[in-house]
Amino acid sequence: GLTFLGLQGLWVESMQTLALTLAAVLLCILIGVPLGIWAGLNDRVNRAITPVLDFMQTMPTFVYLAPLTLFFLIGPASATIATLIYAIPPVIRITAHGIRNVSPSALESSTSLGVTRWQMLGKVQVPLAKRTIVLGINQTMMAALSMATIAALIDAPGLGKVVLRALQSLDVGTAFNAGLAIVVLAIL
């Protein structure tokens, strides 16, 4: 996959897209997984955060861009924050779902062994929900890659700029190659 990116002449742009995406996804994980665990453990938090996540997911992606440029100017910072806003709901929702769906018998048996609340979370619930949490991180990565492309409209570096320039000049081949490079990054 990396050889393909280099052979297409899109190495620098691919690495810029990867850097932007990884920065946004790292922030999503640092914020989203603890928030998702909290929402999975507390129904009140889950009810409070659900409308916010619904709003974040249903808001058209282009709408994120304008207000962010007012606060953070045009460039990579605005693009990273827009990507974070767009990509964080899946990791929160899926983490909360994973925590809520831990087997009641596992919780009951660990309670009968006398574990504390934190031990229950760290040694039972999170490990049993790990596969679901990783799925949420995967979905966040896919959302971040798609938004990193759209963020080229506010001067985000990377493959999105190549796609945008190619579409503006009606160069379908270049746009397709850049899009294919984004798919390769998503697979990687």
Q: For residue range 24-43, what is the model confidence (pLDDT) as tens digits? A: 999 999 999 999 999 999 99
pLDDT band at 71 (very low <50, low <70, confident <90, very high): confident
* Buried-exposed string 87-101: b where 16+ CB fall within 10 A, e elsewhere: bbbbbbbbbbbbbbe
Nearest residue to 156 (alpha-carbon basis) of 88, 84, 107: 84
More confident residue, 172 or 148: 172
Q: How many residues does the chain have?
A: 188
Nearest residue to 33 (alpha-carbon basis) of 95, 106, 103: 95
> What is the torsional sign of CA 25, 29, 31, 36?
positive
For 160-168, what is the mean pLDDT?
Answer: 88
For 156-178, what is the mean pLDDT?
Answer: 88
Say if pTM beats, i.e. exceeds, 0.85: yes
- Tell me, what's the pLDDT at 69? 81
pLDDT band at 72 (very low <50, low <70, confident <90, very high): confident
Q: Is the pLDDT of residue 171 over 80?
A: yes
